[in-house]
Amino acid sequence: MSVLRAAQGDRAGAAPANLHRRAGVGAGTRLRAYAARVVPPLVLLGVILAGWEAAVRVFDIPFYILPAPSRIAGVLAGDRALLLGEAAVTLGEVLLGFAIAFVVGVVLALAIFSSRTVERAVYPLVIASQTVPVFAIAPLLVVWFGYGTLSKIVMAALIVFFPIVVNTVDGLRAADPDMVNLLRILGAGPAEIVRRVRVPAALPFVFSGTRIAIATSVIGAVIGEWVGSTRGLGYLMIHANAQLHVDLVFAVIVYLSVMATALFWTVSLVEWAALPWRRAETAAQAEGEV
């Protein structure tokens, strides 16, 4: 609360000395608020891991049923080169798939937005395509695109595609009609209105779609690797599981979740950097609630 007060004081041009003192309190409060958010999940994770470790030791569970966290940590360290190599393959598939789906998705969204005919023709099919489970078409993709990376890239792209299209279309429609009218009065043509109002208004929607899409695209690539491949974390996982290297399976799971989380935060970071005005809005809203 004192952070917000300080911000308010700044705006009203309060006495500098007073402002300084308040800002000092604000920094401490912010650190405490950050700790309050980060510490509980870390403590919970620690308790779970400790309980897991203790259970494995007390009940003497064999590693091919349930490996202890310490053993998984050992694999993570020992097989680092193997894991990183396969992770790089999977990450490449995810990023390429995402890039393709993003470009195609945004272009299609613009077409759906600008043309009634395209919307009527394409939109129902786009939505219907989501009812087909990705697992069901994965073997087909391998048949069509082979055992190489291409089938996995297509898989990841298919998963990313839908949230990108839907969110972008929603975003393009979200612009305030009065703002659109304002641009019209100022003499802007349709293309200029899209560029100056529609697209900027759509960006927050595009980013939330992307955040969801990129985390799930990892699932797409891994399923593709399960069904048929010779590289990647999904392949490593199936292989390790068949040989009862359950500790390695767990190590792969750790890699996959770290990868998905990192991608999620990367998108958030890009959004943070690209849309400074959204930060201004969030700050103003928080202040309004005080």
Please report, as ranges, the residues that interact with other proteins according to CB under 8 A.
11, 176, 178-179, 181-188, 192, 196-197, 200-201, 203, 275-277, 280-281, 283-285
What is the 8-class DSSP label of residue 14?
-
Q: Rank residues 176 and 262 by Cβ distance to other proteins and give the closer one.
A: 176
C-alpha span between 53 and 17 (Å, rounded): 54
User: Minimum CB separation from other proteins for residue 253, in Å?
Assistant: 40
User: Minimum CB separation from other proteins for residue 106, in Å?
Assistant: 18
User: Minimum CB separation from other proteins for residue 289, in Å?
Assistant: 14
Q: Rank residues 106 and 218 by Cβ distance to other proteins and give the closer one.
A: 106
Helix 246-274 vs helix 69-78: crossing angle, to nearest 10: 70
Q: Rank residues 21 and 279 by Cβ distance to other proteins and give the closer one.
A: 279
Instruction: Return the half-sphere exposure (C-beta side, CA atoms, 13 A cut-off) of residue 203.
Output: 18
Q: Rank residues 129 and 181 by Cβ distance to other proteins and give the closer one.
A: 181
Q: Rank residues 180 and 219 by Cβ distance to other proteins and give the closer one.
A: 180
* Long-range contacts of residues 44-51, Cβ cutoff 8 Å, at least 24 apart: none
User: Minimum CB separation from other proteins for residue 190, in Å?
Assistant: 13
User: Minimum CB separation from other proteins for residue 76, in Å?
Assistant: 43
Q: What is the 3-state secondary structure (H, E, C) of 189-228?
A: CHHHHHHHHHHHHHHHHHHHHHHHHHHHHHHHHHHHHHHC
Helices (H) and strands (E) in the chain, counts: 13, 0
As given in the structure block, the two tokens for residue 11 are 């705006």
